[in-house]
Amino acid sequence: MLWLAQGQIGHGALTVPQLVSFLLYAQVMARPMAGLADVYGRTQHARGALNRLATALAEEPEPSWHAGKRMGKINGNIEFRGVTFAYPGREPALKCLDLSIAAGETIAIIGPNGAGKSTVAHLLMRLHEPSRGSIFIDGVDIATVSLRSLRSQIGVVPQHVLLFNASVRDNIAYGRPEPT
């Protein structure tokens, strides 16, 4: 910039006081302009947070914790009858799933990522509701049962487990401190 100004001064198109004034104005304006860039960055960050918040607020509210009948002690017979489920805006993760698991039976649900393995567990706990079909435990449609009585009897070990820097007992007791 000074090299260009030197040529302008040499041709008489610019005076030294004008150059000094320009440089001082440029320095005075540099800080607010940098501040505008920072404000823009923060605005974009806030916009992303707002989009995530809007997504969370648009979620369907979970049914009342206590609504529905109380489920007795579960023996463990599980049946999926014609269950179809799709996450919003995606292809169905499950299509017309028919599955019967007898109490005490050991099974493995295997498949590639996105095949619906976790979805089966989520539907069983009513974290999501099927778009079609029904799920029964011991012959009882779980859609008619209170979430509290259902979830208090189901345990899930996720694929990626979060452990705290504490004893095994403390980690197990974190979700339910009273011994059972």
Domain boundaries, the chain: 2-57, 78-173
In our burial notation (b when 16+ CB lie closer than 10 A, e otherwise), range 92-123 reads: ebbeebeeebeeeeeeeeeeeeeebbbbbebb
Q: Which of 14-18, 85-89, 173-177 has the lowest mean pLDDT?
A: 173-177
- Residue 125 CA to residue 137 CA, distance in Å, equals 11
CB 162: neighbour CB atoms within 10 A?
7
111-116 average pLDDT score: 85
Instruction: Provide the pLDDT for residue 37.
Output: 83
CB 70 within 8 A of CB 146: yes
CATH 3.30.70.260 assigned to domain 78-173? The reply is no
Largest distance between two CA atoms of the chain? 97
Q: Which residue has the tokens 């302009």?
A: 33
Any residues with CB less than 8 A from the CB of 163 and at least 6 apart, and which? 171
CB 100 within 8 A of CB 114: no
Structure confidence by residue, pLDDT tens digits, 24-40: 878 888 888 888 888 88
Classify residue 176 by burial, with Cβ atoms within 10 Å: 0-12, 13-18, 19+: exposed
Any residues with CB less than 8 A from the CB of 53 and at least 6 apart, and which? none
* Residue 180 confidence class, pLDDT cut points 50, 70, 90: low
- Residue 133 CA to residue 85 CA, distance in Å, equals 9
